[in-house]
Amino acid sequence: MPDQDYFIAASECHLMDKLPEVSYYPDVSRWFQSAMTGVARVWDASHDIKPLIASELIKQMDATGIDVAFGLRESMMDVTGFAAPMSTNGWIIEQIAPYPDRLYLECNVGPILHRGVKHAIWELEFLVKERDAKLCKVYACEDGPLNDPEMWPFYEKACELDIPLTIHMGMAYVVPQPNKYTHPALLDEVLLAFPDLKVIAYHMAWPNHEELFGLAGKHRNLHIGISGVVGWFARAPYRGYHMIGQALEWATEDKIVFGLDWPGVDMQKCVDYMRTFDIPQELQEQYGYPAITDETRAKILGLNLAKLANLDTTKRVGKS
């Protein structure tokens, strides 16, 4: 069993502060109901969910051996009729400020089309240049199709700023959001127009993951994020053997990126699964999946994300 003290970097760690203020909107309860009866159950979020603040995130990172993580607001503005988000970029910046070498900003300036692309571009540039944002989340489920031509200036600005976009792909897991805005085919069109755009496609685009894997082999700057679904793999290991094995075939170990979608997964189980990840020999022989090495695990757990976000890979915490 592998026993390496890997550098671990986790994207998509949601911090929230506005839930009591928006709970009276009817779609907020519908959103939570759909999340808890569907995706949270499958991704095994049955653990005790603690306060969604930076100090709790750091506590869990220390316990599980995660060196750095990316604090991300939760938008979901459609559940309030676009009156308010579940948390803001400004609040995230305040939360992560006490932990400058552990927590980094993964901003979200959406809904981009709904608010106006020029406003999203201004905020993105400000957060990158003035607040050192390292990643930017694009959550089209509450907004509109990824390949809408009005999005082109935003992608152009992301290329200019050299900031990777972390894009929700595949299933829109909660109501009232439709699935049609985040299919991998839409991303294909974007990357044909912007080959220099760096993208991490979250959740492996399940259930459209096979198309995403093929696209990651096609586009040099398209990476596959395992955030969220890694909780599913930790609960159902063979599903992970097959999906990660197929992703490795198409995209190689250089383009698979660890993440959590915290608190929607159990951090300890996810880290343990990937730290010891190994595809059974039988599956390697029957499906052609590559053998897993320490280098494979090291790249997936942190080195690939650190390279994209230009982070120092010095260990911050010891192995739990």
**Residue matched to tokens 């993580």:** 69
* C-alpha–C-alpha distance, residues 304 and 9, integer Å: 9
The predicted model gives 31-52 an average pLDDT of: 86
Average pLDDT over residues 199-222: 98
Q: Does the pLDDT at position 268 exceed 90?
A: yes
Q: Is 8 helix (H, G, I), strand (E, B) or coil?
A: coil
Choice among 27-41, 178-192, 225-239 with the minimum mean pLDDT: 27-41
Q: How many angstroms separate the CA atoms of 182 and 168, rounded?
A: 7
Distance, CA of 102 to CA of 35 (rounded, Å): 29
Rounded Cα distance, 289 and 280, in Å: 9
Query: Looking at residue 291, what DSSP letter applies?
Result: P
**CATH number, domain 9-309:** 3.20.20.140
Q: If pLDDT is split at 50, 70 and 90, which confidence band does 19 have? A: confident
**pLDDT at 222 (0 to 100):** 98
pLDDT digits (tens, 9 = 90+) for 117-156: 999 999 999 999 999 999 999 999 999 999 999 999 999 9
**Nearest residue to 135 (alpha-carbon basis) of 16, 255, 9:** 9
Higher pLDDT, 44 or 262: 262
pLDDT tens figures, 2-12: 568 999 999 99
What mean pLDDT is reported for the chain?
Answer: 96
Separation CA 74–CA 261 (nearest Å): 10
Q: How far is CA 247 from CA 132, 182, 255, in A?
A: 31, 19, 9
Q: What is the pLDDT of residue 2?
A: 53
Model pLDDT, residue 249: 98
Cα separation, 129 vs 222, in Å, equals: 24
Among 250, 186, 194, CA closest to 224: 250
Contact 60, 317 (CB under 8 A): no
- Cα–Cα distance list, 146 to 70, 149, 150, 190 (Å): 23, 9, 9, 7
Joined tokens for residue 238: 């063979």
Residue 319 has pLDDT above 60, yes or no: no
The pLDDT, as a whole number, for residue 238 is: 98
Band of the pLDDT at 281, cuts 50, 70, 90?
Answer: very high
User: What are the residue boundaries of the structural domains of the chain, listed by start?
Assistant: 9-309
Q: Model confidence over 44-67: pLDDT tens digits? A: 876 677 889 999 999 999 999 999
Q: Rounded to 5 degrees, what are φ and ψ at 82?
A: 65, 25
- So what's the pLDDT on residue 106? 99
Q: Which residue has the tokens 């600005």?
A: 157
State the pLDDT confidence band at 255, using cuts at 50, 70 and 90.
Answer: very high
Separation of alpha carbons 83 and 285, rounded Å = 54
pLDDT for residue 84 is more than 60 = yes
pLDDT of residue 1: 45
pLDDT of residue 259: 98
The alpha-helical segments, DSSP class H, found in the chain are 19-22, 26-37, 39-42, 54-64, 89-96, 112-115, 117-131, 152-161, 184-193, 209-218, 229-235, 237-251, 267-275, 281-287, 294-298, 304-309
Band of pLDDT at residue 318, cut at 50, 70 and 90: confident
